[in-house]
Amino acid sequence: MANKNLTKAKQAKKDEFYTQWVDIEKEVNAYIEFNKNVFNGKTLLLPADDPFESNFFKFFATHFNDYGLKKLIATSYDPSPIVNTQLELSLFADTNQTREIEQGENHRISKAYRIELTDVSDFDSDGRINIEDVEAKLLSEKRKLDLGKKSDILAYLTGDKNPDVKHRFSAGDFRSKEVTRLRDEADVVITNPPFSLFREFLTWVEPDIRLFSIIGNVNSITYKSVFPLIQDNEIWLGESIHSGDREFKVPDTYPLDATGTRVDDKGNRFIRVKGVRWFTNINHGRRHQPLALMTMADNIKFSKHKEVQGHEYSRYDNYDAIEIPYTDAIPSDFNGIMGVPITFLDKYNPDQFEILGSTQRGTHDRVPDTKKYDDYWEMKQNGELTGSSGGKTNENANLCQNDGKKNYFVNKSGRIVQSAYQRIFIRRKCS
């Protein structure tokens, strides 16, 4: 589950979280280790708030030659609070004299632009090829623009005419016609999109046409527009983030009023966000590693989980499947349908299991629910009614139990059921 930082971000649409270099490096290394030529000869698009603020651009510009990229395209976004303001490698800095280009009270340049690199060479003639060479090249291209000349590498984005944030979009918005045309040119798209626009961005990427890797919240798995893609093995979770939280840089305007925040000695602001994952269709080795599992009898005898050790596996009241509360409690000798936590996908091997559906409504045709609870009502543990009917738990994975913790549902005969958390239905493939 996402933490309070992510919830607040979604509510306020302040979800501009800037990914750390180390997290990008770990994930991309997994792709390279599985297929060293995965990016060779390809055009890579990085839609971002600012290419030089974005570690995505810095990373792939640095490794342009290592990966054999054909072209690297990066875009900035006009309304971004950081565009052209916090750049150590300032594309718009005047290197000959101190100069501010004023726009409003905060002296910001808010023009969105695109960068298209087809070559990274020793532009500064220091005998090395690195990110400083890219900066030198871009600064020379910027001077061309200043003189009214055309640049094949650098250009301003104009956005759609009369943007209304519904059908027409601001300069640099991934939904704008300009950036969409760049997407059409790309073989690969990699970025950290706004969490509030995750579903829309995933659709925009067109996973059936091009490779992609993006960061999102783990609960995105349950979206009706996302889960069928996972079920059909069209997309999957990345290799490098399995649990815990990750630190992201945020704009200066982002409130640091929750736990897990900090400001470094340069004034950069950071928050930690739980429940993030890479979503991708780029292959990596971890998804082909089989899970090491115990038999059902051994799980009951030796499991480290108190809910499993010494207990028979429970069957759902409304599905022909058994409850698996932890991924490592999947029995190796059970061939029927099992309901597992959504975090099972961190270790999912499509050669070992098949995904049949989930308890999200409209996503379990292959595992139909067998019972409704409209004549039940919801109770708190103290015996108070919540005011909700049992229809609230229809299609959830329900167990005949009361664990003494969560709310439960009861009918007039006193029959009690309780919902498990979101579950994915799987079945072991025959060897």
Confidence of residue 366 (pLDDT cuts 50, 70, 90): very high
For residues 273, 11, 346, 329, the Cα torsion angle rounded to the nearest 10 degrees is 100
57 has pLDDT over 90? yes
Give the model confidence (pLDDT) of 96-125 as tens digits: 333 333 333 333 334 788 999 999 999 888
pLDDT for 265: 84
The reported pTM is: 0.86
pLDDT for 19: 85
Mean pLDDT confidence for 366-386: 97
91 has pLDDT over 60? no
84 has pLDDT over 50? no
pLDDT for 90: 45
Distances (CA, A) of 206 to 223, 224, 363, 414: 16, 16, 21, 50
The mean pLDDT value of the chain amounts to 87
431 has pLDDT over 70? no
Q: Enumerate the β-bridge partners of residue 47.
A: 75
Beta-strand pair 276-280/71-75:
unpaired
Helix (H, G, I), strand (E, B) or coil at 61: helix
How many angstroms separate the CA atoms of 326 and 231, rounded?
19
How many angstroms separate the CA atoms of 307 and 323, rounded?
11
Confidence of residue 267 (pLDDT cuts 50, 70, 90): confident
HEC assignment per residue over 347-373: CCCCCCEEEEEECCCCCCCCCCCCCCC
Could you give the count of Cα atoms lying within 13 Å of 44 in the half-sphere of its Cβ?
Answer: 26
Q: Where are the alpha helices (DSSP H) in 267-392?
A: 296-302
Q: For the stretch 231-263, what's the b/e string if a residue is b when 16 or more beta carbons lie within 10 angstroms of its beta carbon?
A: beeebbbbbbbeeebbbbbbbeebeeeeeebee
Give the model confidence (pLDDT) of 170-224 as tens digits: 999 999 999 999 999 999 999 999 888 999 999 999 999 999 999 999 999 999 9
pLDDT for 46: 97
Give the model confidence (pLDDT) of 213-254 as tens digits: 999 999 999 999 999 999 999 999 999 988 767 777 777 777
pLDDT for 6: 45
